[in-house]
Structure 1
Amino acid sequence: MNIAVMGAGAVGCYYGGMLARAGHAVTLIGRPQHVEAIRRDGLLLDTRTFRQHVRLEASTEVNAVRGADLILFCVKSTDTEIAADEMKPHLKPQALVLTLQNGVDNAERLQARLSQVVVPTVVYVATEMAGPGHLKHHGRGELVIATTAASEGIAKTFAEAGIPTQVSDNVIGALWMKLILNCAYNALSAITQLPYGRVVPGESVEGVMRDVVQECVAVAQAGGVRLPGDAWQVVAGLVQTMPTQYSSTAQDLARGKRSEIDHLNGYVMRKGESLGVPTPVNRTLFALVKLIEARQATAA
């Protein structure tokens, strides 16, 4: 299969690299420092089970999506519309677009810009770019994709590449469950610049996380979302599988980059306001991250 990865950061490089390793023609579209290293040496997949340089195409140009049958859309939620508009003229009419992003509304926002089929996808993976062209995998790696005519075939392709993939008719519920995980962990890891395994045992942290989860569940239920399981149990269990992981929000702040907090705790805050559900703890975490971003912007 001909596959393009739009926004090949840590998530995109992991899935693109795994698919290339399985023999698919993959093009990563990403930042110059990574593209240069990948063109020279291949993508270093440094996973929990193997370490290997994988040869694949890489480009800094959006037009590299041309000819792709499948696009893994991995840009930051803040860049969804801009990236969609840049990509649109180069897409095959029959191309399939999977949204491998944080947040719950990216597929809807993307579909409003594109005529191609957009498939909401939930990502559970702990990764980081440890250096130019160096993908470090800390754990997990499974996907949940929405039900479409092509979904079973895509799931089979991914599974054969070592990517466990489930097709679900309740992807919105799964997206909300992932959002709740992100709301519980991301801001706390970002504000403290600590990995999950050091955040969770902190004094009074469990109470804060429980409050976040309770608010998120109340907003989801008020919006008619059916959550697939007990949200607190899912949140409490995550640290066991990813103790050394820093949240993507923490990684963004550490690099002086704008985070996705508007689409995490900020989204829950705004959705709660529209539904009449109070979200004071999510609001507080959102405000604190925004203050850090503002301080860094001023310092720059």
Structure 2
Amino acid sequence: MKIAIIGAGAVGGYFAALLQESGADVTLVARGQTLEVLQSSGLRVKDAKSDRYVQVPAVASVQELPEVDVVMIATKALATSTNTEELLRGLPENAVVAITQNSVESADIAAEVVGTDRVWPGVVRGFFVHDGPAQVSYLGGPLSYTFGDSGELSQQFADILNEAGIDGIFHPDILVDVWEKAMFVEVFGGLGAFVEKQLGTLRTHFRASLEALMEEVAEVATGLGIALPSDAVERTMNFADRMPEDSTSSMQRDIADGVPSELDAQTGAIVRAARKVGVKTPLHDLIYAALSLKEEENGL
């Protein structure tokens, strides 16, 4: 199986390194300085095993890959980034697109380009950090990719992930998992950016707001026909309670640094979905409006 990973950031870089080390046929798709570093020095990887360089083949676009079976989209879902259609231009006709982005809209956007039958909605779990161009760290915790297809190709892909030390997991209703992850990642990132505080403060001083935001996500998901378990909010709050108190989200850090963030792809996606099904989300509306204004004032 030939695998391509678009994006050599925290998730894409670490997955590519483990796959390469396991003997899988994997190629990174990157650009600019990241591509230059990958091709000259390799990918620097830090984890519990070591601080090392891994040589992963890298190209500038999928058009340079005449054959590929699975393409993982591991870029951030930035409003200012290259759109999905451009990322997938030239993709071989039979290739499947595996989604890793933290947005409830990503799979639908990809499906508009290549068709629903060629898209695997998915969820990545793990604590990854992008340290710089072609530099990634894995800080522990779970290490998995959960996705929804269960055909022959997906089973082969899961086997390859497992051989690389990444848990490849099938979910019978993957959109449930996508929305449950959003319930934590989007809410934690949005509220954290809004009040400019770490998770420990969110789950104490702002606990009522944290839970109320999760309830809004659950109501939107239910309105869309997503069969979230009745205890989804309770379990997500319990998960938040177990995480390190100094945790911040990638979106939160990007907003604080004044660089392009996933605000629109994460919080904006929830707001748009709510409007679509007629669900009121006053806290999301407030946070999205306030942070959007902040980004506008920063020239983003």
Same topology, TM > 0.5: yes
User: What SS does the corresponding residue of 1:113 show, helix, strand or coil?
Assistant: helix
Q: Extract unaligned runs of 5+ from structure 1.
A: none
- Describe the superposition over 1:152-197 as per-residue Cα deviations: whole angstroms up to 9, x where unpaired: 221111111111121012101111101111222112333455543x
- SS at 2:127's partner residue? strand
- Give the equivalent residue in structure 1 for 2:182: 179
Match of 1:42 in 2: 42
Question: Would you say the 8 A contact 1:184–1:235 is kept in 2?
Answer: no
1:1-300 matches, within 5 Å, as 1-78=1-78, 83-114=83-114, 117-139=118-140, 140-149=142-151, 150-191=153-194, 194-196=197-199, 198-203=200-205, 205-228=206-229, 230-238=232-240, 240-241=242-243, 243-297=245-299
Give the 3-state SS of the residue equivalent to 1:76 in structure 2: coil
Aligned counterparts of 1:91 and 1:141: Cα–Cα separation in 2: 28
Cα drift, residue 279 of structure 1: 0.8
Aligned AA (1:274): K
8 Å Cα contact 2:84-2:110 kept in structure 1: yes
- Alpha-carbon distance, 1:89 to partner: 4.3
Question: CA–CA distance in 2 between the matches of 1:2 and 1:287?
Answer: 42
2:201 and 2:31 map into 1 onto residues whose CA distance is 31
Decide whether aligned partners of structure 1 residues 233 and 158 sit closer, same or farther in structure 2, where only a CA change above 3 A counts.
same
Pick closer, same or farther for the CA change 1:39–1:189 going to 2, 3 Å. farther
135 and 194 in structure 1: CA distance in 2 versus 1, 3 angstrom threshold: farther
Distance 1:29 1:136, change over 3 A: same
Q: Is the 8 A contact 1:80 1:109 kept in 2?
A: no
The code of the aligned residue for 1:43 comes to L
- Of the structure 1 ranges 102-111 and 264-273, higher mean CA displacement relative to structure 2 is found in 264-273
* Secondary structure at the counterpart of residue 264 of structure 1: helix
Contact 1:119–1:148 under 8 Å retained in 2? no
Q: Which runs of 5+ in 2 are unaligned?
A: none
Question: Partners of 1:264 and 1:23 in 2: how far apart?
Answer: 34
Q: Normalized against structure 1, the TM-score is what?
A: 0.88
Check whether the contact 1:190–1:253 (CA below 8 A) recurs between aligned residues. yes
Distance in 2 (alpha carbons) for counterparts of 1:217 and 1:276: 14
For 2:274 and 2:112, how far apart are their aligned partners in 1?
24
When normalised by structure 2's length, the TM-score is 0.88
- Write the deviation string for residues 51-108 of structure 1: whole angstroms up to 9, x where unpaired: 3211111233443344222211123334699543224442222222101111122222
Work out whether residues 81 and 113 of structure 1, in 8 Å CA contact, stay in contact via their aligned partners in 2: no
- CA shift, 1:202, in A, is 4.9
